[in-house]
Structure 1
Amino acid sequence: MKMARKLVTLIWLCGAAPAGAQAPEAAPVQDPGPAPQLTQTMIRDAVRAVLEEEAQVRDSLPQPAMQQVTIRADRKYEQFAAAFAEAKVPDCLHADGLKRQPTGIGPLAIGGVYALPFMAIAKLRGKCN
């Protein structure tokens, strides 16, 4: 609504009034004669002027403190998060359930349904919940 009012005022000041627009409340002015026709270029220029003014007002406002400060985790926090994730005892039925219980015999890796006995052994040993 505010932008529309500014647009009407700018068009009025450019010398052309849109149909149904009322003049801004001001002192009476001598009739200069017939007003020029409202063209696409006049409308485009008025819209650009209003958008530029809005952008300048928006840029001149101070930013909230949350947008000014960038929160970055330091190395100690990252090390703590990695250590916490490693120390957590996993659930036996999840993908990381056997991360502390190897599922292989020597160089042979066993997976799928054949890894079920290793899950039972990991549960008995307390390597997973």
Structure 2
Amino acid sequence: MSKLFQELDVDTYYLEYDDQARTGGFSPLKHLPPHKNVILGVVTSKYPELEDKEELKLRVHEAAETIAEGNGSSKDESIKQIGISPQCGFSSSVEVRHMEHEDMVRKLRLVREVADDIWPGEP
């Protein structure tokens, strides 16, 4: 992971973290340097049921703590390196996952609500 985060010439990583059994924990984020960002795909596009908003916020804060631990910054500094999104697009969700348009809209609204709570006043 160190090589991925520290040697690739990219500013932002988009990582799937919607299913901890499949994706594992946030420990790889210890290698994220202070000058790079990560978008956590914590909202699944695999099923229409909404995730728990408070649980999502806890997971983002856990990721910030992991980043802070790894790069020696504060949690408040590290949380500025994070964004959230669905774990991937919804393009195959309608037919394969039985996601309706309104389900997708609800998921995106949830992402916005969580972001507003964690990063108030940010665009």
- Give the structure-2-normalised TM-score: 0.26
Q: Which has the higher strand share?
A: 2
- Give the structure-1-normalised TM-score: 0.25
Give the number of the structure with larger relative contact order, counting CA–CA contacts within 8 Å between residues 6 or more apart.
Answer: 2
